[in-house]
Homo-oligomer: A and B are copies of this chain.
Amino acid sequence: MVERILYLIKERKYVEVRRILGNINPMDIATLFSEFSDNSLPILFRILPKNIATDVFVNMSVQQQETLIKSFSDFELKIVFEDLYLDDAVDIIEEMPANVVKRILLNSSPQVRNQINSILQYPKDSAGSIMTIEYVSFRKNITVSEAFEHIKKTGIDKETIYTCYVTDSFKVLIGLVSAKTLLLSDRTATVESIMETNVIYANTLDDKEEVARIFDKYDFLALPVVDKEKRLVGIVTVDDAIDVILEENEEDISKMAAITPNETPYLESSVFSIWKARIPWLLLLMVSATVTGMIISGYETALAKAVILTTFIPMLMGTGGNSGSQASVTVIRELSLGDLRFSDIFKVLWKEFRVASLCGMTLSLVEFLKLILVDNLMLGNSAVTLSVSLAVSLTIFFTVLLAKLVGSSLPIFAQKIGFDPAVMASPFITTVVDALSLVIFFAVATSVLNI
């Protein structure tokens, strides 16, 4: 396909190219364009049917958008940006270098420039920063028929016409009516008689994650955003909510793996930027692990007397780490979905205590039997005595117990003091539990083995 189009462009068969592109979904054209060089991009974009050019532009990579903007005449730039939905325009502007932003704003109408600036001023993760101001609104005293007239006249530029908002003369949100209700109602009915007045809305400063959660809970297609005086200032549409959900998930998973979140796709990220996202955590965790070395040093004489103990250290730390991660990840997810509060901490600890007791008993029993039956009897390893097996099994039980209690409570405390609980996931918990399991192991072993 790419080669065919390049050939057609070389032959100046632009009409044929336009015909081909006209049959492809704009998102797929954007994907297709990503395989073209920066040189052919401006020609290709100019060939695009006018009605889909903006849709294609929105879905291109930031880098290709920048290339195109630089190739645009002032007039073309104006056309594309006037045609964008405001929230998309703001998204693009946020990714562009300062000189490009300046040129975009210079070539926007004063009205659009003001609107862009007003959205740019909302905090990064707020409802205001992801909303669009292209919505349908009208007064309550018009009829269904008049509402349709209004939609027909203004709807073409609105991001959605399926939820229409009703405001009073101060722009205060007083109700909403869906296009479905409008369509199924008598055309002479007033909007007031059919509107829903029990409207769920977000405030401009609400966290965008909360906004996404509202979409999940209520199955909305759009959510109105109001200012402090409950005046309607914009709407968030469901596609933006999906983007927020995916982005937050990416972030949570990155943090759980001790990586600084990064929006650039992996294959497009530079080696240096990946290094920068990973190295601080690796350094921090490596230095924290010094404490485990110190614990082992403290028991060097005991270890020298029973070298066999050393062979169990990795397994004990691994089991503790895995047990702790399970609890911490579970709790982190519940916190991030809003299903768990600080006041639930005792419920969580009690539940984890019981789960950990069960897990600990199972694991230590299996390990005890393995040590006695396989290592000692079958393989004839005489160093694995009954006392050693007992010390190891007891350590497993207490380590799992502590690991799960620590793993489940640390994220809750982290959130309480305003940290992101996701950083309390596997790597961090593992480092804490490593130290704990060593302390338990040496305490148990020295007393069971009398060394």
- Of the listed stretches A3-11, A37-45, A115-123, A321-329, chain B binds A321-329
Known: A25-B198, A215-B242, A318-B289. Contact between A426 and B347, CB under 8 A? no
Q: Are the CB atoms of B359 and A279 closer together than 8 Å?
A: yes
Within 217-249 of A, Cβ neighbours of B (below 8 Å) are at: 217-219, 221, 238-239, 241-243, 245-246, 249
Q: Complex Cα distance A300/B308, Å?
A: 8
Q: Which of A242, A266, A340 has the most CB of B within 10 A?
A: A266
Q: Are the CB atoms of B183 and A330 closer together than 8 Å?
A: no
Q: Give the residue of B275, B294, B311, B354 whose beta carbon is less than 8 angstroms from that of A358.
A: B275
Chain B residues with CB under 8 Å of A354's CB are: 271
Q: Give the residue of B162, B215, B348, B426 whose beta carbon is less than 8 angstroms from that of A426.
A: B426
Chain B residues with CB under 8 Å of A238's CB are: 221, 238, 242
A410 interface residue (CB < 8 Å to B): no
Q: Complex Cα distance A36/B292, Å?
A: 50
Q: Complex Cα distance A245/B300, Å?
A: 51
Q: Give the residue of B317, B331, B427 whose beta carbon is less than 8 angstroms from that of A317.
A: B317
- Of the listed stretches A76-84, A127-135, A250-258, chain B binds A250-258
Q: Are the CB atoms of A271 and B314 closer together than 8 Å?
A: no
Q: Are the CB atoms of A323 and B27 closer together than 8 Å?
A: no
- Cβ distance A317 to chain B, nearest Cβ, rounded Å: 6
Within 400-424 of A, Cβ neighbours of B (below 8 Å) are at: 400
- Of the listed stretches A102-110, A149-157, A166-174, chain B binds A149-157
Chain B residues with CB under 8 Å of A430's CB are: 318, 321-322, 430
Q: Are the CB atoms of B282 and A296 closer together than 8 Å?
A: no
A211 interface residue (CB < 8 Å to B): no
Chain B residues with CB under 8 Å of A221's CB are: 162, 221, 238
Q: Are the CB atoms of B258 and A325 closer together than 8 Å?
A: yes
Report whether over half of chain A's contact residues are helix, strand or loop; otherwise say mixed. Answer: helix
A263 interface residue (CB < 8 Å to B): no
Q: Complex Cα distance A318/B258, Å?
A: 12
- Of the listed stretches A67-75, A92-100, A362-370, chain B binds A362-370
Q: Are the CB atoms of A289 and B259 closer together than 8 Å?
A: no
- Cβ distance A246 to chain B, nearest Cβ, rounded Å: 6
Q: Are the CB atoms of B266 and A334 closer together than 8 Å?
A: yes
Copies of this chain:
2
- Cβ distance A187 to chain B, nearest Cβ, rounded Å: 11
Q: Are the CB atoms of A274 and B24 closer together than 8 Å?
A: no
Q: Give the residue of B243, B256, B274 whose beta carbon is less than 8 angstroms from that of A351.
A: B274
Taken residue by residue from 8 to 35, chain A's Cβ proximity to chain B (1 for < 8 Å, 0 otherwise) reads as: 0000000000000001110100000000
Kindly report which residue of chain B lies nearest to residue A314, judged by CB atoms.
B292
A373 interface residue (CB < 8 Å to B): no
Q: Are the CB atoms of A289 and B315 closer together than 8 Å?
A: yes
Within 369-420 of A, Cβ neighbours of B (below 8 Å) are at: 370, 396, 400
23 A-B interface contacts by CB (under 8 A): A155-B180, A155-B184, A216-B246, A219-B239, A249-B249, A252-B253, A257-B329, A257-B425, A266-B339, A267-B348, A275-B358, A279-B363, A283-B362, A283-B366, A286-B315, A286-B366, A286-B367, A286-B396, A289-B319, A296-B313, A303-B307, A318-B430, A318-B434
Chain A interfacial positions (CB closer than 8 Å to B):
23-25, 27, 148, 151-152, 155-156, 161-162, 179-180, 183-184, 198, 200, 215-219, 221, 238-239, 241-243, 245-246, 249-250, 252-254, 256-259, 265-267, 271-272, 274-275, 278-279, 281-283, 285-287, 289-290, 292-294, 296-297, 300, 303-304, 307-308, 310-315, 317-319, 321-323, 325-326, 328-331, 333-334, 339-340, 344, 347-348, 351, 354-355, 358-359, 362-363, 366-367, 370, 396, 400, 425-427, 430-431, 434, 438
Q: List the 3 shortest-distance A-B pairs measured between CB atoms, nearest first.
A: A257-B329, A289-B315, A292-B314
